[in-house]
A and B are shown apart, each in its own frame.
Chain A
Amino acid sequence: MHELALIDELCRIAQQAAKDQGASTIHSLLLRIGNLSGVDAEALRQAFAVVATAPPWSSTRLELEVVRTRCFCAHCRQAFRPTDLIHQCSRCGALSSDVLEGRELELVSMEVS
Chain B
Amino acid sequence: MCGQCGCEQGAPFTPEPTRIVLQRNLLERNEQQALHNRIHFERHGLLAVNLVSAPGSGKTAFLEQLARQWPRPPIGVIVGDLATDNDAQRLKSAGARSVQIQTGDLCHLEADLVARAFDQLETRGMDLLMIENVGNLVCPTAFALGEHLRIALISVTEGEDKPLKYPALFRSVDAVLINKIDLEEVVGFDRRAALANLRDTAPQAEVFAISARSGAGVEAVMAWLQDEQRN
Contacts and interface: CB of A to CB of B under 8 A. Distances in A.
Nearest to A1: B107
Given A38-B139, A113-B14, A85 B20 contact: no
B231 interface: no
A110 B22 contact: yes
B16 interface: yes
A112 interface: yes
Given A17-B22, A106-B23, A106-B24, A112 B17 contact: yes
Q: Which of B20, B25, B199 has the most CB of A within 10 A?
A: B20
Interface residues of A, number: 35
Nearest to A18: B20
B171 A111 contact: no
Contact of A109 (B22, B106, B107): B22
Interface residues of A: mostly helix, strand, loop or mixed? mixed
B142 A105 contact: yes
Interface residues of B, number: 36
Interface stretch (B2-10, B66-74, B147-155, B200-208): B200-208
B171 A27 contact: no
A52 to B, nearest CB: 15
B26 interface: yes
A112 B29 contact: no
A95 B203 contact: yes
B201 A86 contact: yes
Nearest to A85: B167
Interface in A1-54: 1-2, 5-6, 9-10, 13-14, 17, 21, 23, 25, 27-28, 31, 36-39
A2 B199 contact: no
A5 B200 CA distance: 31
B42 to A, nearest CB: 25
B110 to A, nearest CB: 7
A104 B161 CA distance: 26
B16 to A, nearest CB: 7
Given A38-B139, A107-B24, A27 B110 contact: no
Interface in B18-59: 18-27, 29
Contact of A113 (B15, B24, B108, B138): B15
Given A1-B138, A36-B168, 17 more contacts: A2-B138, A2-B139, A17-B22, A28-B17, A31-B26, A37-B142, A38-B138, A38-B139, A38-B168, A85-B167, A85-B201, A99-B171, A106-B26, A108-B22, A109-B21, A109-B22, A112-B17
Interface of B: 14-27, 29, 106-108, 110, 136, 138-139, 141-143, 164, 167-169, 171, 199-204
